[in-house]
Amino acid sequence: MSVIVNGIEQFDRGDFHFVAGCTAPAAVNHVRNEHTLGHMHIHNWYELSTVLDGSGRYEYQGMTYTLNPGDTFIIPPGVPHHYLEQRNLSLLNFIWYPEELPVSPEELNRIPGYRAFFDLEPQSRSVFRFECRLVLMPEQSAAMQIFYRRIESELKNRAEGYQLAVGLIFTEMLVTVSRFYNDTSHAVSRSGNDLQKIGDVLSYLDANYMHHVSRARAAKIHGSSETTFSRSFKRIMSESFFDYLLNLRLRHARDLLRGGDMSISEIARACGFCDSNYLCYRFRRKFGIPPHQYRLSARKDDL
């Protein structure tokens, strides 16, 4: 069960299974009790919250935001948060572990709107002050309630195959929310539109990091000049375009070192580096260890 550390209640996987009543990959929870909502807490799962009724204030990373019906937002793992000044606040919570869903993150990232809403919006709240949140229309809110009831029914009845059914329904909900965000982000605010454009650039990089990627091409996808794009990218991602691309390539190189027998030269080519020497130089600067030593260490850890 949960523990209190420095005044913050912390929830773990056991608490997740308690909410779900089983080991399903996702769960739902309708919270409307001020005692439940009113204390600082933290959890190691992802949470999507949508406001059904009432109003209140939401504290996240030391900043507070006003909540009203329709407001829908993501709470990533490891971030302390709680609700203040509640006035009959009623929330639907969808909670999940991405690695347990029957779909890969790579597939989800290809859906327009997914990257912007699930990844970029939470990390850019200090920049945009929550104005890029998703605000559901009444019919969209009704659709979320239908997803909630379908998942709740599967968790309650536990018919044969219910865990897979929960994962599939939840994945469908993620796709639907991504579409909601993609359809509205361009119209809601200029900032939301920018998040969507940066999300498109990130999806392009995921698919093409192994090739030559120019800032000019990324700026064209963003729909702006190279200068405007570079400024926007760094504002949202907190690192430059080229630093992000380099780190993306290094992460893929690290994964290949752990999971296969490709040579360093082959990994360099597969990850977009000009040669193995440059990969070794950048890898050591990033991770503090040469690639071949990292491979040996990773294999010992696996054993």
Q: What is the pLDDT of residue 126?
A: 84
Give the helix ranges, DSSP H, for the chain: 13-20, 34-37, 105-109, 114, 121-123, 125-128, 138-157, 162-188, 190-208, 215-222, 226-237, 241-259, 264-270, 276-287, 291-302
Q: How far apart are CA 258 and CA 237, in angstroms?
A: 27
CA geometry: angle 50, 175, 75, nearest 5 deg? 40
pLDDT digits (tens, 9 = 90+) for 212-237: 999 999 999 999 999 999 999 999 99
Give the pLDDT mean for 26-36: 81
Q: How far apart are CA 216 and CA 224, in angstroms?
A: 9
Residue 26 DSSP SS3: strand
Report the percent of the chain where pLDDT is more than 70: 94
Q: How far apart, in whole angstroms, are the C-alpha atoms of residue 24 and residue 120?
A: 27
Let me know: does 69 contact 52? Beta carbons within 8 Å.
yes
The dihedrals phi and psi of 245, each to the nearest 5 degrees, come to -60, -45
Residues 6+ apart with CB under 8 A from 79: 42, 60, 61, 122
pLDDT number for residue 4? 76
Q: How far, CA to CA in Å, does 157 sit from each of 147, 149, 200?
A: 16, 12, 40
Q: Which two tokens mark 10?
A: 């912390």
pLDDT of residue 31: 87
Max Cα-Cα span within the chain: 61
78-90 pLDDT per residue, tens: 999 989 888 899 9
pLDDT in the model for residue 52: 95
- The 10s digit of each residue's pLDDT in 112-135 is 899 999 999 998 988 888 888 899
Mean pLDDT of 286-296: 93
| Separation between Cα atoms, residue 198 and residue 256, nearest integer Å | 27
- Do β-strands 26-31 and 41-43 pair in parallel, antiparallel, or remain unpaired? unpaired
